[in-house]
Amino acid sequence: MPSKQQKFGEKSEDLAVWYLKKNGYKIIEQNYRNRMGEIDIIAKEKKTIVFVEVKSRRSIRYGSPKWAITPKKQRKISMVALYYLKTTKQIDAKARFDVVAITSNRDEPQIEIVKNAFDLAYD
């Protein structure tokens, strides 16, 4: 049975998918996994492949969720994205990394898309 935190994460990802669609993104995959890790959402905006990390918090007590993606996490997402592009034969495709930041306090959730949130990062 999923924990309270897992349910919150799933709800946040569903909300992010809805918001991305509302803003013109076409969802390709959710929870894409390979041997290197996971990407929450892979989408397309016009001709650009977008790798989306969803970050959500119940409050801003510890800051905005958009600042919660560490350099280590950026490297991991980058490696997963490169593997995806290679295995789908899209290595030359235009791509970027976006973050959907969701703050779910008692009122309506605050949702923000941060385009080009970080650059390709690898060791």
Angle at 68 between CA 4 and CA 82, to 5 degrees: 100
Residue 54, amino acid? V
Question: What does the pLDDT read at residue 9?
Answer: 79
> Could you say which architecture CATH assigns to the domain 4-118?
3-Layer(aba) Sandwich (3.40)
Each of the 123 residues of the chain gets a pLDDT tens digit; together they read 778 888 877 889 999 999 999 999 999 999 999 999 999 999 999 999 999 999 998 877 777 888 889 999 999 999 999 999 999 999 999 999 999 999 987 778 999 999 999 998 765
pLDDT at 68: 87
Residue 5 Ramachandran class (φ > 0 left, ψ -120 to 50 alpha, else beta): alpha
Predicted model pTM: 0.92
Domain ranges of the chain: 4-118
- The pLDDT assigned to 123 comes to 58
Q: What is the largest CA-CA distance in the chain?
A: 44
Q: What is the DSSP string of 38-62?
A: EEEEEEEETTEEEEEEEEEES-STT
pLDDT score for 2: 77
pLDDT of residue 16: 96
| Residue type at position 10 | E
